[in-house]
């Protein structure tokens, strides 16, 4: 049987916007997060405390975190690659910090400028500080199904990073398809491999829709018991260090799927469609969400 309830982590304000070339005002990001809060998400990835030289769009993260209206019980998470990021996250009042590594050596170097082993050492300090300050700690693993630089990635390499992040004390671990190359059976094989290392109820699927496989991969993950999914309003997004990578799976499409399956999310699809319209109008283009566009056209 499929899970009866899933947690959807809305990553649009971070993963969705980080790759936008034109600077988006903090006011627009704040309005977006507030609309998403209103839609009922329990977890919103709101910002990223990374080097502004690497990802200029996230330079307004402190302003965004200071401006949003927090709803009690909602977890606002931020990316923190190192202690500098952690200090900023702490000052900003983040509820959850995300350390982000990779199952691929080549991608680790391009994305965070260090090897996988070095990244774990950097994360150790961040993890300890998160525990000390009683913040939730999440670990994210890029290139779990393939890498733009080295190609194939073995399930055992993903499992190895899962073990290391587990040992650092992560509350939740994301299995991410950075470039969207995973297909259903492959996704199930990797998920089944990592479930041996970490509790299934604390693993999440983070799927980019580059090859149109994300919804199939979510369904495949549901079949093996994964109950946390990341998605991006209006299908925004792309990773600056994964050339050609397009957006995350659109939240509207995921919600439509879950509704049809009778799986509870606690989120209002109509409110997410409105948020998608808001940000798409601001960016001057049509939302990538199929369900969202269909609902608007009705």
Binding site for ligand HMG (CB under 6 A): 15, 18, 48-51, 53-55, 79, 81-82, 84-85, 100, 111-113, 140, 142, 176, 178, 206, 208, 239-241
DSSP state letter for 173 = E
170 in active site: no
The nearest distance, CB 143 to ligand HMG, in angstroms, is 6
Cα first-last separation, the chain: 33
The nearest distance, CB 54 to ligand HMG, in angstroms, is 4
Q: Which pair of tokens denotes residue 199?
A: 């509790």
The nearest distance, CB 34 to ligand HMG, in angstroms, is 22
Contact with Mg ion (CB under 5 A): which of 3, 8, 15, 28?
15
Site for Mg ion contains 95 (CB under 5 A): no
Query: 203 and 169 in contact (C-beta within 8 Å)?
Result: no
Q: Which of 143, 147, 170, 239 is catalytic?
A: 239
Counting residues that bind Mg ion (by CB under 5 A) gives 1
**Strand 43-48 vs strand 136-142: parallel, antiparallel, or unpaired?**
unpaired
Query: 227 and 7 in contact (C-beta within 8 Å)?
Result: yes
Strands of the chain, DSSP E? 7-10, 43-48, 75-79, 96-102, 136-142, 172-177, 203-207, 228-231
Residue 293 interaction partner, one of Mg ion, ligand HMG, none, beta carbon < 5-8 Å per kind: none
97 to 76, 86, 136: CA distances (angstroms): 9, 7, 6
With CB atoms as reference, the residue minimizing the distance to Mg ion is 15
Q: Which residues bind Mg ion (CB under 5 A)?
A: 15
Just list the catalytic residues.
239
């Amino acid at each position: 049987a499929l899970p009866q309830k899933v947690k959807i982590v809305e990553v649009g304000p971070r993963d969705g916007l980080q790759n936008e070339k034109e600077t988006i005002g903090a006011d627009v990001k704040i309005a977006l997060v507030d609309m998403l809060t209103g839609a009922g998400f329990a977890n919103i990835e709101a910002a990223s405390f990374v080097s502004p030289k690497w990802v200029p769009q996230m330079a307004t993260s402190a302003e965004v975190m200071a401006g949003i209206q927090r709803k009690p019980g909602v977890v606002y998470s931020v990316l923190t690659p190192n202690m500098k990021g952690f200090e900023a996250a702490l000052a900003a009042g983040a509820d959850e910090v995300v350390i982000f590594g990779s199952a691929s050596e080549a991608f680790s170097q391009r994305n965070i400028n260090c090897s996988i082993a070095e990244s774990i050492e950097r994360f150790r300090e961040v993890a300890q500080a998160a525990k000390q300050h009683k913040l939730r700690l999440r670990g994210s693993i890029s290139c779990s199904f393939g890498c733009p630089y080295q190609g194939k990635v073995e399930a055992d390499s993903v499992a190895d990073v899962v073990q290391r992040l587990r040992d650092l004390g992560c509350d939740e671990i994301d299995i991410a398809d950075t470039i969207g190359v995973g297909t259903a059976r492959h996704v199930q094989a990797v998920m089944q491999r990592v479930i041996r290392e970490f509790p299934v109820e604390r693993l999440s699927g983070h799927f980019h829709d580059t090859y149109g496989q994300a919804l199939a991969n979510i369904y495949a993950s549901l079949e093996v018991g994964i109950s946390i999914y990341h998605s991006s309003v209006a299908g925004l997004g792309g990773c600056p260090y994964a050339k050609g990578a397009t957006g995350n799976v659109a939240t509207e499409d995921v919600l439509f799927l879950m509704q049809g399956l009778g799986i509870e999310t606690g989120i209002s699809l109509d409110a997410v469609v409105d948020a998608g319209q808001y940000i798409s109008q601001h960016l001057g283009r049509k939302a990538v969400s199929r369900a969202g566009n269909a609902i608007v056209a009705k």
